[in-house]
Amino acid sequence: MNVKGAATRLQTSRKAATLLLACTLLCSTTASLFAQTAVTATPLLPGAPPAGDGTTSATPATGVGAATNAGQAAPAAAPAPQQLWRPSNNPGDPIYEQQDDAGQPYAEAENPYEPTVDGGENPQIAAEPGQPPGIRIGTFLLRPAISQTINTEKQTNTGGPSRRNYLTTGIRGTLTSDWSRHALTVTGDGAWERNFGGDKDGEEPRARIEADLRLDLGEETKANLKAGYEFSREDTTDPNALTGAAVQGGEHRFTTGASIERDFGKLRGLAALDLSRTVYTDAKGLDGRPISLSDRDQNGANLRGRIGYELSPALIPFLELNAGKTKYDSRLDNSGYARSSNSYGAKIGTEVDLGEKTRGEAAIGYLRKQYDDDRLAAIGALTLDGELNWSPQRGTNVNLGLRTTIEDFAGGPQGGWISYRLDAGLTHELRNNLVARLTGQIVHRTFPSSDTENAVEYTAGAGLTWGLNRYLDLTADVSYQWTPVYDSNEFRVGAGLVLKR
């Protein structure tokens, strides 16, 4: 019979049907997993637009659903896939980085400068890196410093060599206003010398203070008011120094002035008036007796005007005229001469402004001084004046200055002499806390109204400043001065500490 064969075929058919159904379910499940990975679990770029129906994922079809919808029409084409911010596994695909809100620009600064008391903002006086913050006094900022140095000095002149060791206590400071309009700046410095052993010979105290008030009167108009005081002792190489004095006389000089500047389109105008008062203290003779110098006390006034034309913002030629008056307290000095005088001068030059790198001016002119006493010959001089501030690179500054003046003799039949003075300075940051300095000076004196030999004085110096921290500096300086015509030279070395605030 064929019953056994039929049963065998029926069992085989059931196994084949079961295997076919399992394969169908397995394939549908695998396809569903791949669909979920490619569509549902895919993040979008931040800010990317959603799909066309407003959703960001699609529901995958199951195996049963696929079989049920097999006979239906194919759905519309899906929208283009969105860009991913994670790197793709396919070579050549673009790589996108996630955007970070912290890197986006802000509409305004998070930490702006605090306004001043009168509503302005003046960030220029903020402390520079490595500099002390200063002391806030209302609407002013004070930056004081005090120094203490130990020095040695050796002099050689016609009287023979001499040497002294001494301490120098110095103080300096700057007071700056923090106003929205106008500006006041006060600067000052002073030094007091004390010899070891109690001998006061050679001590040279000095002091200086200056105040400058700038008034912004308008967009094109600016005025300046200034005042100052200075004290110094006459140098032994000065033509007016007393040869028979143990201590030279001191000079108190008081100054004040006002100026106004205005722009008239391409034209620049300036008018200024300067006043001064000079008082001399007694010198001390070799026997200790005082030597009066009161016959040299004087008042001075100088009026000057300048007109310039702006060829370009960097180049402004100008013409300057000036007139001055010197009036001595005593009509006649101790030698019987009337030394009061009038002076007149003119010069032409140019201002140069190439930005922060180069600024300055240079001028050439003529100056004449006429004395009240006809026995004193008038003096005329070719004048050379100028200044230059140059910064060839960050941390390096070069300063040059040139000035011509006519000075009065303290007595005798000579009226005065012509002085040409050249100053030079170089500072360079060797490191962020180490600054090197070089200085130089040449003073040339000519005596047109006497037989005195012309004199040239040379001075050179070098120094280092090491910033131990923002409040304390260590300094070292050396200088040499030489005047060949007087066979005089002076050598100084010093080192000390500077405390800043």
pLDDT digits (tens, 9 = 90+) for 108-162: 444 444 444 444 444 444 556 567 888 999 999 999 999 999 999 998 877 778 8
Which amino acid would we find at residue 351?
A: E
Q: Predicted confidence band at 86 (pLDDT cuts at 50, 70, 90)?
A: very low
Residue with tokens 């034209």: 267
Rounded CA-CA distance 204/233 in Å is: 6
Taking residues 210-214, what's their average pLDDT? 96
What is the chain's mean pLDDT, rounded? 79
- CA dihedral (485, 488, 491, 497) positive or negative: negative
Lowest mean pLDDT among 34-43, 149-158, 201-210, 249-258: 34-43
Give the integer Cα–Cα distance in Å for 318 and 347. Answer: 9
Q: What percent of the chain is modeled with pLDDT above 70?
A: 74
What secondary structure does DSSP assign to 415-429, as a single string? -EEEEEEEEEEEEEE
Taking CA atoms, 199 is separated from 162, 194, 202, 291, in Å, by 13, 9, 9, 19
pLDDT: which is higher, 162 or 390: 390
Q: Rounded to whole angstroms, how far apart are CA atoms 60 and 376? A: 116
Beta-carbon neighbour count of residue 22 at 10 Å? 10
Q: What is the pLDDT of residue 230?
A: 96
**Which whole-number Å values give the CA distances from 23 to 32, 60, 61, in the listed order?**
14, 19, 17
pLDDT for 113 equals 43
The three state secondary structure string of 121-144 is CCHHHCCCCCCCCCEEECCEEEEE
Q: Give the dihedral sign, CA 188/193/194/199.
A: negative
Left, alpha or beta for 336 (phi > 0: left; psi -120 to 50: alpha)?
left
Going by pLDDT thresholds of 50, 70 and 90, the confidence category of residue 478 is very high
Per-residue pLDDT tens digits for 276-293: 999 999 888 888 888 888
pLDDT in tens, 333-378: 888 899 999 999 999 999 999 988 899 999 999 999 999 999 999 9
Radius of gyration, alpha carbons of the chain: 43
pTM for the structure as a whole? 0.71
Say yes or no to pLDDT of 453 above 90.
Answer: no
Do residues 440 and 423 touch, judged by C-beta distance below 8 A?
yes
pLDDT value, residue 485:
86
Question: Average of pLDDT values for 434-445?
Answer: 96
Q: How do residues 53-74 score in pLDDT, each as one tens digit?
A: 444 443 344 443 433 343 344 4
Q: How confident is the model at residue 248 (pLDDT cuts 50, 70, 90)?
A: confident
What percent of the chain has pLDDT above 90?
53
